[in-house]
Amino acid sequence: GAVVSQHPSWVICKSGTSVKIECRSLDFQATTMFWYRQFPKQSLMLMATSNEGSKATYEQGVEKDKFLINHASLTLSTLTVTSAHPEDSSFYICSAIKASGGALTGELFFGEGSRLTVL
């Protein structure tokens, strides 16, 4: 089956530094990827929609200058948490659409998640 891979799986950084998380679709091309954030014991919260070759669409309340999303190729989207602070510590999950049926339908695959801890 299709696989979506995230890297790194976990990262610890100092407050004020920037962290980049990669999301790759390993065996299919994904024009659209989604980024979610999940705090402990809570559900996934959609952060943004990443479209290949264009600017990401951010959900209300998500700072686009803090969470930089780049979708430069059909198999890679990156999320950069800039000037990270302890409150940004969370589990970040991406997902990618594998289209079929002439893009009329498809399936959504999720990555394994990346746990960010900001000290």
Partner 1 sequence: LAKTTQPISMDSYEGQEVNITCSHNNIATNDYITWYQQFPSQGPRFIIQGYKTKVTNEVASLFIPADRKSSTLSLPRVSLSDTAVYYCLVGDIWTPLVFGKGTRLSVIA
Interacting residues with partner 1 (CB under 8 A): 4, 6, 32, 34, 36, 43-46, 49, 91, 93, 95, 97, 99, 105-113, 115
Alpha helices by DSSP H, listed for 15-60, are none
Q: How many CB atoms lie within 10 A of CB 50?
A: 27
Min dist. Cβ of residue 64 to partner 1 (A):
16
Q: Taking the complex as a whole, how short is the minimal distance between the CB of residue 83 and partner 1, in angstroms?
A: 25
At its nearest, how many Å lie between partner 1 and the CB of residue 94? 8
Cβ atoms of 47 and 63 closer than 8 Å = no
Environment class of residue 77 by beta-carbon count within 10 Å: exposed (0-12), middle (13-18) or buried (19+)?
buried
By C-beta, is 77 or 95 nearer to partner 1? 95
